[in-house]
A and B are shown apart, each in its own frame.
Chain A
Amino acid sequence: NAGVTQTPKFQVLKTGQSMTLQCAQDMNHNSMYWYRQDPGMGLRLIYYSASEGTTDKGEVPNGYNVSRLNKREFSLRLESAAPSQTSVYFCASSAADSSNSPLHFGNGTRLTVT
């Protein structure tokens, strides 16, 4: 019962470095999401993918890019990391075509940019 798997769990970057956060789900879900969580700010949507082959911007997309590689995988890329991107990043998925389908989360990636 893997659910939503995120890698890596922890990462430290220097300003200007790039990295890709990986996310995979094994529940055959259509929709996938990337959120960031910061103290006092709650979870904010970065990008989402309603279905394979589509991606859309959320509330805070600047500085990020995404790829919906296939139905299972949705990656988040930081091209040039900045200290403001220090955060905990969560990937989530759901079966988009049902109002009774809950959102499932991975365990998060804790990113520090120095």
Chain B
Amino acid sequence: KQEVTQIPAALSVPEGENLVLNCSFTDSAIYNLQWFRQDPGKGLTSLLLIQSSQREQTSGRLNASLDKSSGRSTLYIAASQPGDSATYLCAVKRFGTYKYIFGTGTRLKVLA
């Protein structure tokens, strides 16, 4: 059974810091991995999607990497801003299924 873990559960950093959020999964037979952002009281917004054959994806100040052999993905946020404050979730989709399994998220607070 696929399990997805995100550590830490919460993180506070001063504005301007570069930071890394972690996502671990137990089954390496994944189809893709997605990172999402969720603001309080809102739905999830897709940030980056990494296909199984890819090692990383970049969008602006965000970079996501994927290492299937170790069952890990990281989301790197460069030069963090207060507007980056949100909960970040990762989700994996296993080969042969239509299901996405989510981690419980990392709640990020960037202090001005």
Contacts and interface: CB of A to CB of B under 8 A. Distances in A.
Interface of A: 4, 31, 33, 35, 40-45, 48, 50, 56, 58, 90, 92, 96, 99-108
9 contacts: A43-B44, A48-B99, A90-B44, A92-B44, A99-B31, A99-B52, A100-B49, A101-B49, A103-B46
B43 A45 contact: no
B95 to A, nearest CB: 9
Interface of B: 31-32, 34, 36, 42-46, 49, 51-52, 89, 91, 93, 98-105
Contact of B45 (A45, A99, A105, A108): A105
A100 B32 contact: yes
B107 to A, nearest CB: 11
Listed from nearest, the 4 A-B pairs whose CB atoms lie closest are A42-B104, A102-B46, A105-B43, A43-B102
Given A31-B98, A48-B99, A107 B42 contact: yes
A103 B100 contact: yes
Nearest to A54: B98
Contacts of B32: 99-100
A105 B98 contact: no
Of listed B43, B99, B102, residue having the most chain A CB within 10 A: B43
Given A101-B49, A103-B46, A105-B43, 12 more contacts: A4-B43, A35-B102, A42-B89, A42-B104, A43-B89, A90-B44, A92-B100, A99-B93, A102-B34, A102-B46, A103-B44, A105-B36
Contact of A99 (B51, B98, B101, B103): B51
B92 to A, nearest CB: 11
A35 B89 CA distance: 14
Given A45-B100, A99-B51, A108 B34 contact: no
Contacts of B31: 99
A103 B104 CA distance: 17
